[in-house]
Chains A and B, each alone.
Chain A
Amino acid sequence: MLESLKGMMLTLASTVTGLRRPVTQQYPKQATPVKPRFMGFPALTWDGEISEPYCTGCMVCIRNCPTQCMSASMMDNPKHADGDSSRRKIVDYFEINLNRCILCGICVEYCNFDAIVMSHEHEMSTYARNGDRVDLPALLEIGKKYQEATDWIPPTVLAKQKADAAKSAAGEPAEASGG
């Protein structure tokens, strides 16, 4: 009996000393901010200069996807024929089954054209079983939203900028580190 009381007193004391400002966030009402690197659902990026997607439908992401959640096809780029774009091929059809996607980010890592990003979108529950199969327009829309929200610069451009900055800082050709 005495032991129980002593235990209860310890609990009470620890609770009182443990009182701090609550960190609870009322989630559905109050949006929880995500970190800059947060990996949400994958989305396709939009090249605003030429107003076409970055994606050429080369399918390297599909080959490297662990869950085979994507499918795509390419077509000849009409803008290349007109001389507006340097992309010979452009994505024709792209679909991601977000229910299958495991948000691993491998597609982003293997993309050669900066065409796919892990967006900050993570609230995409639907009532339909196939409600999370998103097609090209929807993916581009999520991508545009992400690009606007984060002032997105293509990673290859960013890497080049960093390397140039390092080169000019060192005064000699420096090797770009893995960052």
Chain B
Amino acid sequence: MSTQPDTLPDIQADRADAQPVEMLLNMGPQHPSTHGVFRMVLWVDGEKVVDVEPHIGYLHRGSEKLCEGEQYHQIVTLFDRMDYIGNFNNELAYCMAVEKLMGLEVPERAEYIRVILCELNRVASHLLYVGTMGLDAGAMTPVMFSFRGRERVQALFEAVSGARMMHNYFRIGGLKEDVPDNFRELMDELMPILREDVEQSDRILTFNEIFLSRLKDVSPITANEAIAFGLTGPMLRACGYEYDVRKAQPYSVYDRFDFEVPVGLDGDCWDRHWVRVQEMYQSLRIVEQAMEQLPDGPVASPLGRRLIRPPAGEAYVRAENPRGEIGVYLVSDGTDKPYRLKVRPPSFCNLSALRRLLVDTWLADSVVVLGSLDIVLGEVDR
């Protein structure tokens, strides 16, 4: 592994004195390992990546602008469609922003159910990551195991919210409705078998010699660099920097649970994988504790179906998504629609380090590096 230059070369200057041996390689937007519609233009010298230029925007739907034209209760559906692997986490971030602006108190039972669903969503999201990471590294079996686990979680989501992915279940100030009466039985059935699925995905991949040799020491990044790039979530924790919004600035009821924040050592691809796998175990721990503490009571917002008009002002809320820290900045002018809504998408900010991570790696590793970023294009392009 060659060392990285202190300063990144200017991309235009690079192009000007490009060596004739360099070859331009176009990867995507329909490449399976870009996990969506993402295009990378790679300049390669033999098997070495010399430069990379990402092209985004193939899935751009103008979500932030659309939010300005929708009423507050309709925007939850748009947030479902940003990070479409971690829907509940996104809904939570938006609902918390409006609640903060309105000074709303959420019923305790609703908070607990939110945490349970968000953590299960994190497990489902990381399971998907583990499976596709295996595919990116050339293993076909793990994806079958992890999709099986994710399927179980989605079946529970369907029983609770009525939809497997686009739930629209969280409301400003509470939930749409209480969980079904047999929720506890469903969870008791799900938890042991989900833990088994997680363990199986972990066992087949994490310490597999082939997988290790494919991922260890591939494009490491130091904690200082990671912070400079604004990396968050597993990307930052893999560098050994212990930062998790759930611990650093606890929101919802996260301060009532006993869980650890796994951190890596070198910040290479394998550490990013390991951190995500460990996070799944921690999420399961949180879910188990939350199920024990789950109180009775109302879950719906005291507002009911009244038109939501937050007072004029602004609010910024951050939350820990499976991919990193999501930030929702909301400006209200006192009407029934937001004046401006800005999202800090974790995938987009993590993707900004792509050039730093890819330059000077082997071409064959570029797929693995992109996979370890765990981007969701719905969120990158919004």
Contact = CB atoms under 8 A, between A and B. Distances in A.
Interface residues of A, number: 31
B204 interface: yes
A106 B74 contact: yes
Interface in B203-218: 203-204, 207-211, 213
A119 to B, nearest CB: 11
A66 B81 CA distance: 13
Interface residues of B, number: 42
A7 B166 contact: no
Residue among B141, B159, B163, B178 with the highest chain A CB neighbour number at 10 A: B163
B176 A10 contact: no
Contacts, number: 90
A104 interface: yes
Given A7-B211, A23-B148, A35-B159, A178 B300 contact: yes
Given A7-B209, A38-B162, A178-B298, A14 B177 contact: no
Nearest to A40: B162
B309 interface: no
B77 interface: yes
A110 interface: yes
A25 to B, nearest CB: 11
B139 interface: yes
A36 interface: yes
Nearest to B171: A109
B180 A37 contact: yes
A118 B169 CA distance: 14
Find the residue from B74, B145, B151, B300 having the highest chain A CB count within 10 A: B74
Interface string B285-312: 0000000000001111000010000000
B168 interface: yes
A178 B299 contact: yes
B70 A66 contact: yes
Contacts of B207: 10
Given A66-B77, A106-B73, A177 B204 contact: no
A81 interface: no
A35 B183 CA distance: 13
Contacts of A109: 176, 305
B177 A178 contact: yes
Given A11-B139, A34-B158, A105-B176, 11 more contacts: A18-B145, A35-B159, A36-B159, A39-B162, A66-B77, A104-B166, A109-B176, A177-B297, A178-B174, A178-B177, A178-B299
24 contacts: A4-B209, A6-B209, A10-B207, A10-B209, A11-B208, A15-B141, A18-B204, A23-B148, A34-B158, A35-B155, A37-B161, A38-B162, A66-B70, A66-B78, A102-B77, A103-B166, A104-B77, A104-B168, A105-B162, A106-B73, A118-B162, A178-B107, A178-B298, A178-B300
